[in-house]
Amino acid sequence: MISIAALREGDELPPLELRPGLGQVIRFCALNWNFPEAFYDPEAARAQGMPGTIVPGPLKLGLIYTAIERWLDGGGWIRQVRAAHRRPDLTARPIVITGRVARVYEEHGRSRADLEIVVINEKGEPSVRGFAVVESR
């Protein structure tokens, strides 16, 4: 379990490799009842200039959330998570969620930490730049 008060600037989150597949993308589309073809139809994706179907950006925000929550392991909770989408990630291709502690501070009597998050695609390129704030319980 992470102790937020014990974190230090520069501490790294363990990289988490994920491979969001078509089934996960379709479950996300079903949750939102919104089915853009580029998310599940390779031909439609190619017609939009993509090499294949892509992972919805909002799904990646939730994956970042789960990666942080897994790292916290009950030692805190997530007050904020943001994702700035830089390039598409292809369905069923590996992505790695990485992060580091940018700042540790006290607010309203609780320990907080700001996290810088980066999602890296299989070419080693950042596809998402993220930010999160976690707080002790």
Partner 1 sequence: MPERSLLTDEVRAAIGRATDPIRVRLTPRVVARTMDVYLGHHEDVPAEGAEAPGFAIAGLETESGSLELMDLMPNTLLISNEWTFERPLIVGEEFEARTVLADISERFGGQFGYSLTVRTEVTFTDTTGAIAARGARTMMQYDAAGSRASEEAT
In this complex, which beta carbon is closest to partner 1, that of residue 8 or of residue 108?
108
Nearest approach in angstroms of CB 54 to partner 1 is: 7
For residue 52, state whether it binds partner 1 (rule: CB under 8 A). no
For residue 82, state whether it binds partner 1 (rule: CB under 8 A). yes
For residue 86, state whether it binds partner 1 (rule: CB under 8 A). yes
For residue 65, state whether it binds partner 1 (rule: CB under 8 A). yes
Residue 33: how many other CB atoms lie within 10 Å: 6
Cα–Cα distance measured from residue 91 to residue 48, given in angstroms and rounded to the nearest whole number: 15
Q: Which of 43, 46, 50, 53 is nearest to 23 (CA)?
A: 53
For residue 103, state whether it binds partner 1 (rule: CB under 8 A). no
Return the CA Rg of the chain: 16
In this complex, which beta carbon is closest to partner 1, that of residue 36 or of residue 100?
36
For residue 116, state whether it binds partner 1 (rule: CB under 8 A). no
Nearest approach in angstroms of CB 88 to partner 1 is: 5
Of 81, 97, 113, 115, the residue at the interface with partner 1 (CB under 8 A) is 81
Which residue ranges make up the site for partner 1 (CB under 8 A)? Answer: 24, 27-28, 30-34, 48-50, 54, 56-59, 61-63, 65-66, 69, 77-88
